[in-house]
Amino acid sequence: MVNVKQFLKNHILKDLGSYYIERLTPFKCQRVAQKWALELPKTFNTLIIYSNKLLDYAVRFDYIRKNPMIIKPKKQAEHKEFTDFYTKQELNAFLKASKNENIKIYTFFRLLAYSGMRKGEALALKWSDIDFTSNTISINKTVSIGNKHRVVVNNTTKTKRNRAISMDARTMQLLKEWRFQQRRYLLQLGFNPFDKEQVVFQNFDNEVVRPNLVAVWNKRICDKNGLRRIKTHGFRHTHASLLFDAGVPMEDVKQRLGHASIQTTMDIYTHVTKEKQDKTALSFAQYMEN
C-alpha cells in the first residue's frame, strides 16, 4: 500500500494532478507517458497500470466518459531494441555516397530516409501511388517473399493500415527525375513505361525488385565509402529519430510511420533517446581522458 501511495504522490499526481480530470486528453496523457518511458523505464508499466485504474474509476462513477490514457503496459516479450539508426550527419554522408551508384538506388534510399516507409512498402510503389500535384504518396501495398522464394505484392501494408504521407519538394523532384530516366530505359527495352501499373523501382525484367537486393545495395555503398552500415529497416528508425529531434509530436510520428500502436512509437523514442544519451556520456568521457 505504501508503494501505491508513493507512485500516486510522486509520479501520477505530480504529472497529472494539475489538470481538471474532464480536461485530461489523450494527448496530455501521451506526453506524460512519454516522460515516464524516458525517465522511469523500470516502473513504466506500474505507472501506466495505476493511472489506468485511476481513470477507469473516474469513468465508472461518471466523472468522465472515456479513459484518456490510451497507453497500455508494455509486454516484456514485445520488447525490441531500436538502436540501429543514423545521425543526421551519418545519413547525409550515406545519401551523398549513394549518388555515386545510380539515380534509382539514390532515389530509393532518399525515399526511405525522408518518408520512413518500410522497405517492402517502397518496393511495392507504383507511379499511380504518387501525386506530384499535392506532393503526397499513398502507401497501400507491401512486397514480401512467398512460397518457393517468389516475390509477392500484398494489397495492404504490414499493419493493414493504409496511409498517405506528405513529402518534401526535393524528394518529389528526385522522383520526377528518376521517372524520366526510367521511361527512357524501359522504352529502349521495349516496355510501355506509361502503364499505370508501372512500379517505381523495377528490376531488369521490369518486375518488382527482390527485397534482399536492397541489402546488397546498402552493403556496397557502405563498404566502398567506409561508412557504418545499418540494416535497411534502420532508415525507418532514422526517420523516426530525426522527426523526434525536429520536435514532431509522437502521435504525428505514429501516423506517418503507420504504426498499429502508439507503444511501438514510444519504444523507438525511448531507445533512440537512450542511445543518444549513452553516446553523449561516452563522448564526454573520451574528451576528458584525452
pLDDT in tens, 228-269: 999 999 999 999 888 888 888 888 888 899 887 777 777 776
pLDDT in tens, 136-187: 999 999 998 888 788 889 887 777 778 999 999 999 999 999 999 999 999 9
Best CA proximity match to 52, nearest among 2, 106, 16, 96:
16
Task: Examine the domain organization and report whether 106 and 198 are in the same domain.
Answer: yes
Domain boundary among 15, 46, 73: 73
Which residues make Cβ contacts (< 8 Å) with residue 29, sequence separation at least 6?
16, 51, 68, 69, 70, 71
Task: Examine the domain organization and report whether 174 and 213 are in the same domain.
Answer: yes
Looking at the domain assignment, is residue 39 inside a domain?
yes
Q: Is the pLDDT of residue 277 over 70?
A: no
In sequence order, which ranges of the chain are alpha helices (DSSP H)?
2-7, 13-16, 26-39, 44-60, 88-98, 103-115, 119-123, 169-188, 211-225, 234-245, 250-257, 262-289
Task: Examine the domain organization and report whether 106 and 212 are in the same domain.
Answer: yes
Which residues make Cβ contacts (< 8 Å) with residue 225, sequence separation at least 6?
93, 97, 100
Looking at the domain assignment, is residue 274 inside a domain?
no
CATH of the domain at 204: 1.10.443.10
Task: Examine the domain organization and report whether 135 and 224 are in the same domain.
Answer: yes
What's the total number of domains in the chain? 2
Q: Where does the pLDDT of residue 102 fall: very low under 50, low under 70, confident under 90, or very high at 90 and above?
A: very high
Looking at the domain assignment, is residue 253 inside a domain?
no
Distance CA 85, CA 83 (A): 6
Give residue 9's domain range: 2-73
Give me the pLDDT at residue 114, please: 96
| CB neighbours of residue 179 within 10 Å | 17
Looking at the domain assignment, is residue 193 inside a domain?
yes
- Residue 145 bridge partners (DSSP): 151
Q: Please, what's the b/e burial string for 237-269 (b: 16 or more CB within 10 A of its CB; e: otherwise)?
A: bbbbbbbbeeeeebeebbebbbbeebbbbbbbb
Helix (H, G, I), strand (E, B) or coil at 137: strand
Q: What is the pTM of this model?
A: 0.68
